[in-house]
Structure 1
């Protein structure tokens, strides 16, 4: 995640616009690293659902 943010910050405002229909490598890196954080949370939620519904394990304690 840090590398994508660094690439966008280093380029400044120029990184917020595209020169056509396609994004450059730095923009793609930033966007995909942001999506990775969402994917990670989805995996955790799916594991909890399988544990509770399929395996019959107790629910995780909530704060």
Structure 2
């Protein structure tokens, strides 16, 4: 609604981006930890698909794109919680 009214995306987008990317990172880290060596994509003597490790690496990039999680937390602190600058 804020974007349609020409007010920009607002702090809600920072909240969604932060929680979405952090949840994605944690999900991929859990998947990688659960699969262990199998997540690397080795199938016998040949290199396999490796989708799990690619997803894990991609989740790291997602947390940087559009502002790092730290930047998103600063936006939330200032705009939502009304905290002063550092």
For normalisation by structure 1, the TM-score amounts to 0.47
Tell me which of the two structures has the higher relative contact order, counting C-alpha pairs closer than 8 angstroms and 6 or more residues apart. Answer: 2
For normalisation by structure 2, the TM-score amounts to 0.38
Higher strand fraction (1 or 2): 2
Higher helix fraction (1 or 2): 1
